[in-house]
Structure 1
Amino acid sequence: MIIKKIKLENYTVFEDQQIEFCPGINIFIGENGTGKTHILKTLYSACQSVSKKTSFSHKLVSTMLPDDYKISRLITRKQGNRNGLIRITAGERENGQDRILTATFHGKTKKWEAEVSGEDGWEESFAGVSSIFIPAKEILSHSYNLNAASEMDNVRFDDTYLDIINAAKVDISVGRNSSAREAMLKAVEKMTHGTVIYDVKRDEFYLKSGSSKQEFNLIAEGIRKMALLWQLIKNGTLENGSILFWDEPEANINPTYIPIIVEILLELQRKGVQVFVSTHDYMLASYFEVKKSEHDILMFHSLSITGTACGVTYEKAEKFADLQNNPIISAFDKLLNEIYDIGL
């Protein structure tokens, strides 16, 4: 499965926007409030709805968490805007018919009961496709009874957190690791200094180093995030044809680990994983160009607030520096100017 494009009308911060994606790594940059995470969560909800037991509209509200699960609250907050639309196009890597999944809703739509079309064909074509969303905040250290507590409304986490815990618990790998998977695992182990184990009885994750194991909540959050990546690679979740969404990989990460993360994401892309990343980090965005090979496929997507009636504007480029609206480079240049001024 390859997500090809999305069209949004009157949806959160997007009044009328269409975005086309590459089959490799899609990197989103933009100021806070420009809808980067909204796009990733919307695409993830569509990917999860390849299962016959999962409704796109219900998954969307469970992931976005509007008040009272009302999809109508996702309509752009502007006078006169009473109708929202989401249209996602996806297809196979090799030929095959494109499938379109559409959801429309209005101000009086009850709860998540949007009008969804194309869901049957979506399920038929993409059944079994694996998709994973890694949130910006680490969650495995809170795995104990979290799903049960959420079901009882004792805590409130959106589905990206609950899903990632479930994905980390399940081992779907078969046989020995491939050489590529083994190399990625070893790269992550250099950062974590151990491997991940899941204790079924305790419903807890641990980091195992040699003959000892340590509770996840006693480990630095950056290490826990890398340990999660190790677990997803190890258990076979990130395989050819799957889709990975990662919100701010750089959060709480030692900068020395950034090039390793980039190398792993590039390798996953080479193995047929489509990747969507949002970032505010200059090093992460730049390392993709530094580390990429001739055959790697990258696309940078920039979202910016215009302050006009258009809301959010969008542009894309194959090279990071070719983006006209690039808040990361602008902030970096400002810092360099201030450093030079101090030096003078």
Structure 2
Amino acid sequence: MACTESDKAKITCLHRHAIYDSMAGNMIRKLKVEGMTVFQRPESFHFVPGINIIVGGNDSGKSHLMKLCYAISKWGCGGSRRDLPEVWAEEKRLRQDLLRVFGTRDLTSLTSRSGGHDVVARVRASLEGDKVPPGTADMAFTFKAHCEEEGLRISTMPERYLSSNAVFLSPREVLSIYPCYMQAGKRYPELLDSASWELCRALETEPSAPLPQALRYVVKQIEQLLGGKLQRRNGRFYLQRPGQEALELNLIAEGFKRIGTLGLLLSNGTVRPGTALFWDEPEMNLNAGHLPLLVNLMMTLCRAGVQLVLTTHSLFLLRELVIQLAEQQNRSVSRRFFGLQAGQVAGPRVSEAEELDQLAHLDSLEAEQEQADRYLSLMPNLSDEI
């Protein structure tokens, strides 16, 4: 579903009326990690308030990076409202968030595999947000392999916690499994995939305030793509299309269910200006023809004050991002590209830049380009045969 000239005119109008303040939203700004999962050596990442795109192939660490950022943001957004929270309680909460987000049984599983028996994971992060100026929400923690009894230690506690929220959209769609997850999760939440469980809980949120105009536009565009509205009835979700019986979600395309989930989270206020939205492979199970609209919606969210962090290895999606970021109405959207190239010994090679073509060489993108070149080289031969 491509954007028409009328759509672009509406987007420009929304842009003029959007209230965008880099300090208005809650966001992760800096991260330094060492000795954790694939990141054996020290690596630093600098995020922007707008859109952050993590590019890399399989086993390069892009999903690990996103999950770590989400776990820290979730912890920073869910902090105690007391002026001086107990450090031991916050250490316990952060440990639980890390284990549940990564789906591991212990902290040792999160340490670098190639760092030896005594490897220590070290993480430092900076968060910012509304009434949380730079430097007041910095945090740092460590944990050691095979020392579970020592647990996780926070060496730097934030002076303030963020007031908004962080949302993680995983590649797994949750609308069709919602009934089972809600039944099992209320009794055994520790047995469920954390990202899916948190999404299911968020889907139960009741709207509390009118949507800003820009977010209403995104919801409307998603409903037009689906051909109807998603509704919850008797503990299940259905797609209601005009003039038709309500469709069970097992009959709906996977990609539509994933983007439909975003529409529901926008409608009930879970995703709002100030939210940090982590989106793992947003292009999954979506036809390439829908990706221009998908990117258009991303731009609208960023202009409305949502920080977006996404992972991808789709060259088509990356090119569409570059194209739309160059458009006049999106010039105000801050952007940062991160390239992760899987390494055999010392972990991934990391690069970051404001533009995609400034990243270091990435095999995952080169493979798609090389295949396109091989395909185009066949065209003269095919023409001769015809």
The TM-score with structure 2 as length reference comes to: 0.81
Matched ranges for 1:144-155 at <5 A: 144-150=179-185
User: Cα 1:305–1:102, aligned 2, differ >3 Å: closer, same or farther?
Assistant: same
- The structure with the largest alpha-carbon Rg is 2
Residues in 1 aligned to 2:53 and 2:350: alpha-carbon distance in whole angstroms: 13
- The answer (yes or no) to whether the contact 2:141–2:156 under 8 Å persists in 1 is no
User: Cα 1:93–1:297, aligned 2, differ >3 Å: closer, same or farther?
Assistant: farther
Partner of 1:334: 370
Which letter maps to 1:326?
L
1:32 to 43, 58, 68: 58
Mapped pair 1:61 → 2:99: yes
Residues in 1 aligned to 2:194 and 2:66: alpha-carbon distance in whole angstroms: 13
Partner of 1:90: 127
| 1:259-299 alpha-carbon deviations (Å, 9 max, x no partner) | 11111111111111111000011121111121122212111
Determine what percentage of the aligned residue pairs are the same residue: 24
2:154 to 116, 120, 133: 116
- The answer (yes or no) to whether the contact 1:306–1:313 under 8 Å persists in 2 is yes
Mapped pair 1:260 → 2:293: yes
Partner of 2:6: none
* 1:96 match: secondary structure: strand
Partner of 2:351: 315
Mapped pair 1:210 → 2:242: yes
Number of residues of Structure 1 aligned to a counterpart in Structure 2 = 335
Partner of 1:168: 203
Deviation of residue 14 (structure 1)?
Answer: 0.1
- The answer (yes or no) to whether the contact 2:118–2:146 under 8 Å persists in 1 is no
- The answer (yes or no) to whether the contact 2:336–2:355 under 8 Å persists in 1 is yes
Deviation of residue 340 (structure 1)?
Answer: 2.9
* 2:222 match: secondary structure: helix
2:266 to 228, 233, 238: 233
Residues in 1 aligned to 2:186 and 2:220: alpha-carbon distance in whole angstroms: 37
Partner of 1:193: 227
Partner of 2:78: 51
Deviation of residue 248 (structure 1)?
Answer: 0.3
* 1:104 match: secondary structure: strand
Greater relative CO, 1 or 2 (CA 8 Å, sep 6+) = 2
| 1:194-234 alpha-carbon deviations (Å, 9 max, x no partner) | 111122xx321111223632221221111111211111111
User: Cα 1:81–1:302, aligned 2, differ >3 Å: closer, same or farther?
Assistant: farther
Which letter maps to 1:138?
E
RMSD: 2.2
Partner of 2:254: 221
| 1:238-276 alpha-carbon deviations (Å, 9 max, x no partner) | 211110000000110111111111111111111111110
User: Cα 1:9–1:56, aligned 2, differ >3 Å: closer, same or farther?
Assistant: same
Mapped pair 1:13 → 2:38: yes
- The answer (yes or no) to whether the contact 1:135–1:161 under 8 Å persists in 2 is yes
* 1:275 match: secondary structure: strand
Q: Which one is further off, 321-330 or 214-223?
A: 321-330
Which letter maps to 2:249?
F
Matched ranges for 1:280-299 at <5 A: 280-292=313-325, 293-299=330-336
Which letter maps to 2:299?
L
User: Cα 1:236–1:112, aligned 2, differ >3 Å: closer, same or farther?
Assistant: farther
User: Cα 1:205–1:109, aligned 2, differ >3 Å: closer, same or farther?
Assistant: farther
| 1:158-209 alpha-carbon deviations (Å, 9 max, x no partner) | 211100111122123413x43212211121112111111122xx32111122
Partner of 2:29: 4
User: Cα 1:310–1:155, aligned 2, differ >3 Å: closer, same or farther?
Assistant: closer
* 1:129 match: secondary structure: coil
Which letter maps to 1:144?
P
Which letter maps to 1:26?
N
Partner of 1:302: 339
1:250 to 265, 268, 283: 283
Residues in 2 aligned to 1:210 and 1:102: alpha-carbon distance in whole angstroms: 52
